[in-house]
Every structure is written in structure tokens, then in C-alpha cells.
Amino acid sequence: MKASVDPELCIACGLCEEICPEVFELGDRETAEAIGKVEGNEEAVEEAADSCPTNAIEIEY
């Protein structure tokens, strides 16, 4: 499983980082990035993807 954030869609709301800080980081960036390891965090990654208001998180299985 792989996760990535589409920078064209991300509005930097911070929700993904709140739900799954192990994988998603926003920090001072203009858009979030999937920087962490997805392995072991699959459920939280899926929850973050489902919760993203702009569907900017792409998951590949």
C-alpha cells in the first residue's frame, strides 16, 4: 500500500496529520506530504483519505 498527496488538491487543512501523524506531515508546508511509513498504519491512512475534504490523498494497493 502506498499513499500520496496531490498538491493540486490539498488545501492544507491539517486533518490528515491530525488523524495519522505517523504518515502525513503538514507542518509549515503549503500542502501536506505523505512522508512516513504506511506499513502498520494502513487503517489510519485509509481514515485520513476518507476524511480529506478535497480527496487529495491517493492510495495505491
Binding site for ligand SF4 (CB under 6 A): 5, 10-16, 24, 26, 32, 52-54, 56-57
* Smallest distance from ligand SF4 to CB 26, Å: 5
By C-alpha distance, which of 5, 2, 3 is closest to 56? 5
Helix, strand or coil for residue 44? helix
Q: Which is nearer to ligand SF4, 45 or 57 (CB)?
A: 57
Q: Residue 2 pairs with which residues in a beta bridge?
A: 60
* Smallest distance from ligand SF4 to CB 61, Å: 19
